[in-house]
Amino acid sequence: MIEKTNHQKTIYVFLLSIVTMFLVLACGTGPGGRDVPEWVVQRPAPDADSYYFVGSGVADIQPEAEDIASRALIGEIVRFIGVEISSETTATARSSLDSYEAELEEQVRQKGQAVVSGFTIADSYVVQKDDEVIVYLLGKYDRGRLESEQQRFQDIFQMKQDAVDVPAARGERLFEQGRFGQALPFLFEAAAAAQVSSIENAEIKFDRSTSIARQIIESLAIEPQVLQVQVDLNTQLPEPIGIRVYATRQGTRFPVSDLPFQVTYRELRNQRMVVRTARMLSDEDGFVYFDLPPTNYSGKQEIVFRLDLYSAIEPLREGGDRYMSRVDALE
């Protein structure tokens, strides 16, 4: 019973302190007999033209109280903008927010100087109470300017998520449309961004993009248009050598465009055999044609067409051991 009574007293004293503080604030006066401004008691609601922010600080001396009040005021503006620094925040976003806060702080200190467009210190109020100084600052921010800053920072802070989601969404959309060759680069880009990202569900996003890429690759069939051709030495072939690429989806077979291929052939140079390569994309009908230069040596010549995804897959190897087995499987 004694413990309960003491607890009740504690609550009563605490509530009494709050009421007393409110009465002092509501009825007190500042320097020169100035009444407490209404904005000190309650922050003004935004109007058609402006948003309002209030910061307060308590310290032994006024300059220190002003510093605390200005930081509180800036914190209110940043909270309104709706961004928060975390371990996942990019260096660009951190730097942009730090710069913006520094400009706001300079504006508060200089008061009349237009450092941040659309923002001003509309009023201030100082209370001397016993050995302490309380400083209140009222900030006024042009509505259009502040909403523009809010959108700017949301765009900056969204960049890390977009680095994964934007190419992934585009790749999946192209995949659904049956445009496999165009989908692959976006799927690989999304996977590469996901494996080095700290965003939520990054590993799931990596697996989804690479899984669709594997579906595309596994569905491909490559058919040569001619298996063998004979030509005289140093004579141009009568027509290009070619292959055609197909994919099968839900039992339907269709040509695949925009797939990268590497063509490898040999050539005699300075009495030495050298390997030459050429790179090209499959056309709208799935054909890849290569004009073989006149052969300058006798004997067999092999022309190899190889699906060339090396440059797309290689960045996936930068994700470390965690993803290596899945990259190997994809490759």
Q: State pLDDT tens for residues 257-309.
A: 999 999 998 888 888 888 899 999 999 999 999 888 887 777 787 889 999 98
Question: Between these two residues, 285 and 33, which has the higher pLDDT value?
Answer: 285
> Quick one: tokens of 251?
């039992």
Which uninterrupted H or E stretch holds 137? strand 132-142
Q: Which residues contact 163 (CB under 8 A, 6 or more apart)?
A: 193, 197
**pLDDT at position 48, please?**
93
Most confident of 22-36, 108-122, 163-177, 293-307: 163-177
What kind and span of H or E run contains 175?
Answer: helix 143-176
The chain-wide mean pLDDT, for the chain, equals: 82
Cα–Cα dist 12/15, whole Å:
5
* Distance from C-alpha of 171 to C-alpha of 150, rounded to nearest angstrom: 30
Tokens 């569900």 correspond to: 201
**Residue 2 confidence (pLDDT) above 50:** no
In the 8-state DSSP scheme, what is residue 238?
A: S
**What was the pLDDT predicted at 60?**
93
Q: Quote the CA–CA distance of 199 and 190 in Å, as a whole number.
A: 13
Share of the chain above pLDDT 90, in %: 44
- Span 102-125, pLDDT tens digits: 888 888 887 655 668 889 999 999
At 274 the three-state DSSP class reads: strand
CA-wise closest residue to 225 among 324, 325, 303, 124: 303
Give pLDDT tens digits for 49-63.
Answer: 999 999 999 999 999
Q: Judge whether 26 and 36 are in contact, CB under 8 Å.
A: yes
What is the model's pTM? 0.54
Segment 159-171 shows an average pLDDT of 83
Q: Which of 278, 263, 290, 280 is nearest to 181 (CA)?
A: 280
Q: Which residue from 287, 267, 263, 285 is spatially nearest to 275, judged by alpha carbons?
A: 267
Given this model, what pLDDT does residue 32 score? 52
Q: What is the mean pLDDT of residues 226-243?
A: 77
Task: Look at residue 142 in the predicted model and tell me its pLDDT.
Answer: 93
Task: Please report the DSSP string for 6-64 in residue order.
Answer: HHHHHHHHHHHHHHHHHHHHHH-B-GGGPBPPHHHHSPPPP-SSEEEEEEEEEESSHHH
